[in-house]
Amino acid sequence: MNSDVKLSNRILAYLLDILLVYVVISLLVSIRFINPYYDEYIEAYEKYSDLLTIEDENVNINDLINSAKDEFYNVNKYGIVYNLTSCMIIFLYFGLFQKFNNGQTLGKKIMKIKVVDNKDNNNPSLLKYLIRILPLQYIYIGGFLPLLLTSLLVFLLKGNAYLYSLTIVTFGFMVINIISFLLIIFRKDKRGLHDLIAGTKVVKE
């Protein structure tokens, strides 16, 4: 089985999948029955955005920073349904769907690549798919584990403690993604950190 997959094919498949997932999540969380905090989230987001664009020189900078931190916390607090919905969609699509679609998401299907077990080139177990998606932080929607941690932190911490913890989580997963991307570029087998952890690899269909 040919494992010489072009980096461009993996990136394109990834972007197609993220676009699809982002659209599905956005549609779901805009439904009030599914997301009863939608209006509060939009209000908090607009207030936070307004605070970031204030240009009044008479505004006390410390008060502005404190207000921005409070609204940023509210954005994440009322975004809990968005985070948990994202986790569910990520698991269903990159886990269950990919498992029962012979190692392929729609993006991978279009680019004619798929995920296989590194040992025997068979379709990996569902557990391996789950392990594979845990360390990844996806564009726009965060990632499975980062979103779970964010959802937990918003109930445990407030103020500076929440902000610092969220910064550490975000930075940590950013580093993980950079390492994974570099491994895909420079390793001969093109396996990223998520593939090494899960025992998988991406090959041509």
Task: Let me know if residue 11 belongs to a domain.
Answer: yes
Q: To the nearest 5 percent, what fractions of the chain are helix, strand and coil?
A: 65, 5, 25
Placement of tokens 């020189």 in the chain: 57
Structure tokens at 106: 């729609």
Q: pTM for this one?
A: 0.85
Query: Is residue 68 in some structural domain?
Result: no
pLDDT on residue 56: 66
Q: Which domain holds residue 195?
A: 7-37+79-204
In a domain, 135, yes or no: yes
184, part of any domain: yes
Encode pLDDT of 61-92 as tens digits: 777 777 888 888 898 899 999 888 988 998 99
The mean per-residue pLDDT over the stretch 10-26 comes to: 92
Apex CA 106: angle with CA 87 and CA 15, to 5°?
Answer: 70
Tell me what pLDDT residue 102 has: 94
- Report the number of distinct structural domains present in the chain: 1
Is 92 contained in some domain? yes
- Decide if 105 is inside a domain: yes
For 60-108, the three-class secondary structure string (H helix, E strand, C coil) is: CHHHHHHHHHHHHHHHHHHCHHHHHHHHHHHHHHHHHHHHHCCCCCHHH
**In sequence order, what are the residues at sequence separation of 6 or more whose Cβ sits closer than 8 angstroms to the Cβ of residue 38?**
29, 30, 31, 32, 81
Which residue in this structure is represented by tokens 């994440």? 76
Structural domain contains residue 110 = yes
Look at residue 58 and tell me if it is in a domain.
no
pLDDT per residue as tens digits for the range 98-131: 999 999 999 999 999 999 999 999 999 999 998 8
Percentage of the chain modeled with pLDDT above 90: 38
